[in-house]
Amino acid sequence: MNTVVCMKQVPDTETLIKINPEGTGIVTEGIKWVMCPYDEYAVEEALQQKEKFKAGKVTIVSLGPDRAIEAIRTGLAMGADTAVHINDAAFYEKADPYATAAALAAAVKDLEYDAIFCGKQAIDDDSGQVPAILGELLGLPVVTLVVKLEVSEDKTKAVATREVEGGHAVVEVSLPAIFSAQKGLNEPRYASLPGIMKAKKKPVDVKTVSDLGVSVEPMTAIKEMSLPPARQAGKILEGEDAVEKAKALAKALHEEAKLI
């Protein structure tokens, strides 16, 4: 089974985020970058499908600046076969979900695939739109929040279990299709030492957006970014005994918090 994985490099979840002086993005200096955790599920799923069918190729496609190669190499070290790195700093700077999906669609277009895997969202900007727009641009069905996937022997259709509020829904879809991975889909493997050594020799096709023959304008632009307000100090309620304190609590909830 041939698959494509759309993968994004994001700041490590532990990063202390600072807003840049223009207020339009984060300070990217001194950050540790990793593969987006949801994309790890996507890579793992692609590898497992390949292993199940004992044939096929896993191609990673990533849009990002020079540093994104590190996350791409991680994917190759996990076991992916090849990669396309859309490395175009100017484009990347202002790319919104639409522009990102359009660039990815252009890169994916010429590849052979039975399925495309994405993470359900990138944990940095959290927009969660790319899989859907990609589906629209490629004319493919999209199944989001997948936690289980079974592909038919002849690779013409798949049954996917999706997470829905309070439960699960099982859907059938014809292939090729796009799947966005939710936590629980699988347990991503670690890159092994032999994998890391092999990764160096695997081909990475580096392209600019104009190499892809597309010119896309983003549809949205970030005007302002701000950190959540610092948490207010807690308040200790005064009162002689429990009854007094309960009264004070009810009063505070009603008058100050306006919750009751």
Partner 1 sequence: MASFILDERDQRFILNELLEVGKLCEHPTYADFSEDMFNMILEEAQKFATEEIFPTLTDSDKEGCSLEDGQVHVPKSFHRCYKLYCEGGWNAMSHPPEVGGQGLPIVISTAARDWFMHNFAFTSYPGLTEGAAHLIEVFGTEEQKKKYLPKMMTGEWGGTMALTEPNAGSDVGNLSTKAIRQPDGTFKLQGTKIFITAGDHDLVENIIHPVLARIEGDPPGTKGISLFIVPKYIVNDDGTLGRRNDYEIAKIEEKMGIHGSATCLINFGDNNECYAELLGEEKQGMKIMFQMMNEARIGVGMQGLTSASIAYMHALQYAKERLQGSSIEHFKDPTAPRTPIINHPDVRRMLLWMKSYVEAMRALMYFAAYCVDKERITNAEVEREKWHGFLEVLTPICKAFCTDIGFRVCETAIQVYGGYGYCSDYPMEQFLRDEKIASIYEGTNGIQALDLVGRKLGLNKGAYFMGLIGEMNSVVDRYKDNPHLKDLAHDVQAGINTLADVSMFFATSAKSGKFLIPISNAYPFLMMMGNVVSAWLLLWEAGIATEKLDTICSGKGIDPSDHAALSGLVKENKDAAFYSGKLASARYFIKNVLPEVDATAKAIKSEDLTVMEIAEESFAV
CA 1/CA 58 separation, integer angstroms = 8
Contact status: 74 vs partner 1 (CB under 8 A)? yes
Window 23-52: residues binding partner 1 (CB under 8 A): 30
Smaller CB separation from partner 1, 55 or 193? 193
Q: Supply the minimum distance, in Å, between the C-beta of residue 75 and partner 1.
A: 12
Distances (CA, A) of 190 to 34, 76, 103, 178: 13, 11, 29, 24
Going through the chain in order, the beta strands assigned E by DSSP cover 3-6, 9-11, 33-35, 58-63, 82-86, 115-119, 142-151, 157-164, 167-174, 177-181, 204-207
Residue in 192, 208, 210, 220 binding partner 1, rule: CB under 8 A: 192
Pick the stretch among 67-75, 106-114, 132-140, 173-181 that binds partner 1 (CB under 8 A).
Answer: 67-75
Write down the H helix ranges in 175-240. Answer: 193-199
Contact status: 13 vs partner 1 (CB under 8 A)? yes
Smaller CB separation from partner 1, 75 or 97? 75
DSSP-assigned letters across all residues of 83-151: EEEE--HHHHHH--HHHHHHHHHHHHTTS--SEEEEESS-TTT----HHHHHHHHHT--EEEEEEEEEE
Counting residues that bind partner 1 (by CB under 8 A) gives 17
Window 116-175: residues binding partner 1 (CB under 8 A): none
Contact status: 21 vs partner 1 (CB under 8 A)? no
Contact status: 194 vs partner 1 (CB under 8 A)? yes
Q: Supply the minimum distance, in Å, between the C-beta of residue 8 and partner 1.
A: 17
Residue in 21, 54, 126, 190 binding partner 1, rule: CB under 8 A: 190
Q: Are 87 and 65 in contact (CB under 8 A)?
A: yes
Residues found near partner 1 in the complex (CB under 8 A): 13-14, 30, 70, 73-74, 77, 189-194, 196-197, 199-200
